[in-house]
Amino acid sequence: MTRSSSAETASTTTRQALIRARFDGAQGYDGAATLQRVAARALAGDLDRALAERAHTPLRVLEVGCGTGFLTEQLCALWPQAHILATDYAPGMLARVTARLGARVDVHLMDAANPDVSGPFDVICGSLVLQWLDDPATALKQLAGLLAPDGVLAVSTLRAGTFAEWQKACALEGQVPATPDYPDMPELSRWVPYPCQGMWRAERCVQAFGTGLDFVRHLKKTGADMPRAGAAGMGAGALRRVAARFEKSGAAVTWELAYGCFRRPPRAGVFVTGTDTGVGKTLVSACLVRRWQAPYWKPLQSGLEDEEGDTPTVARLAAGNALHGPGVRCFPPAGAYQASLSPEAAARAEGVLIDPALLALPMDEPAQPLVVEGAGGLMVPVTEEIMMVDLAQRWGLPVVLVARSGLGTLNHTLLSLEALRARGIAVAGVVLNGPPNPENSRTIAHKGRVRILAEIPHEAHIDGATVEELSQRLPSWPEIAAV
Whole-angstrom Cα distance, residue 61 to residue 374? 34
In whole angstroms, what separates CA 49 from the centre of its chain? 16
Output DSSP code: residue 241: H
Exposure of 471 in the CB half-sphere (CA atoms within 13 A): 25
Which has the closest alpha carbon to 346: 333, 329, 362, 357?
Answer: 333
372 bridge partner residues = 271, 297
The torsion angle over the Cα atoms of residues 10, 15, 21 and 27, rounded to 10 degrees, is 180
| Residues 214, 482: Cα–Cα separation, whole Å | 47
Residues 251/212, Cβ–Cβ less than 8 Å? yes
Element (H, E) at 85: strand 83-88
Check: CB of residue 282 under 8 Å from CB of residue 263. Answer: no
Please give the Cα distance from 310 to 303 (Å, whole number). Answer: 10
- Closest residue by Cα to residue 148 from 124, 178, 183: 124
State the distance between the two ends of the chain, measured CA to CA, in whole angstroms. 27
Q: How many whole angstroms separate alpha carbon 466 and alpha carbon 298?
A: 21
Catalytic residues: 298
Q: How far is CA 30 from the centre of its chain?
A: 31
8 Å CB contact between 160 and 184: yes
The sign of the dihedral angle between the CA atoms of 273, 122, 200, 113 is: negative
Do you know the residue count of the chain?
A: 483
DSSP-derived pairing of the beta strands 252-263 and 197-208: antiparallel
Torsion over CA: 10, 12, 15, 20 (sign): negative
SS3 for 275-298, per residue? CCCCCCHHHHHHHHHHHHCCCEEC
